[in-house]
Amino acid sequence: MNAISHWTIGCAVLAVASVGTPALAARATVDMRNAQAVSIDYVRANPGQQYRLQTWYLQGENKCLEGNLPNAAGNMFTGSFQDDCQNVTGQIWKIIPDQAGYFRLQTLQSAQVDRCLEGNQIGVLSALGGVTFMDRCKAASGQLWRFVDAGRGYYHLTTQFRERDNMCLEGNKRGPKAMLLGMAHLAQCQNVSGQFWRIILGSGGRPAPQQFQPRSQPRAPVPQKELD
């Protein structure tokens, strides 16, 4: 990452977030490992449906992308991350067509306060250190997402803001040595399982407050490293 090391960014934000993630009440898990996946064409043709987003990397561990809401602390842990698939509104996504070929991403939770998922650029001066986060919905290229067919029923996700730089959304496993402590972020597009996303139809259950055949069959992505 040139002059900015993983540790520089992680430690800079960790200093703010040293109190850790707030404790969560028990939340019912939902097994989404074998849930039905759909194409982005299906999403476009069926407005108003609800979805989950899951990576190839952590699908077997039943992890789903959770969009968080920033709080007064404004630290990294208020960004998006992969957590156990649960019946919570922060994991149920609305994929909303916007400009030609682009979509906005909202959770049922964030829609109540008009916030959309925003892809960022990693850096000590970037909001939350560069993790993806729910920001006020606005005319911003970082909130316009493109789903690029990666084959096998998976997609690379990039934003209008970063696609020219060949940057893709990466979901990691949280840990003290992981890039940005494991929070979701945009990284150089690669053939790694943490950048292969599938769109899961439905919520898998009633959220608590808070199959199509792929057109191509490329080689399987390189397994994501747990700590990279």
* pLDDT tens column, 12-71: 333 333 223 333 445 789 999 999 899 999 999 999 999 999 999 999 999 999 998 876
Q: Domain holding 60: CATH number?
A: 2.80.10.50
b/e code 4-21 from CB counts within 10 Å (16+ = b)? eeeeebbeebbeebeeee
In a domain, 227, yes or no: no
Q: Quote the pTM value.
A: 0.78
Which of the residues in the chain have pLDDT under 70?
A: 1-26, 71-77, 121-129, 175-181, 205-220, 223-228
- Write the DSSP string, 136-151: E--S-GGG-EEEEEEE
Task: Please count the residues of the chain.
Answer: 228
How many folded domains does the chain comprise?
1
In a domain, 196, yes or no: yes
In a domain, 208, yes or no: no
In a domain, 211, yes or no: no
In a domain, 113, yes or no: yes
Give the list of residues 6+ apart from residue 133 with CB closer than 8 angstroms, or none: 68, 70, 78, 79, 80, 117, 118, 120, 127
In a domain, 219, yes or no: no
In a domain, 73, yes or no: yes
Give the list of residues 6+ apart from residue 100 with CB closer than 8 angstroms, or none: none
In a domain, 210, yes or no: no
Range of the domain at 72: 6-10+32-201
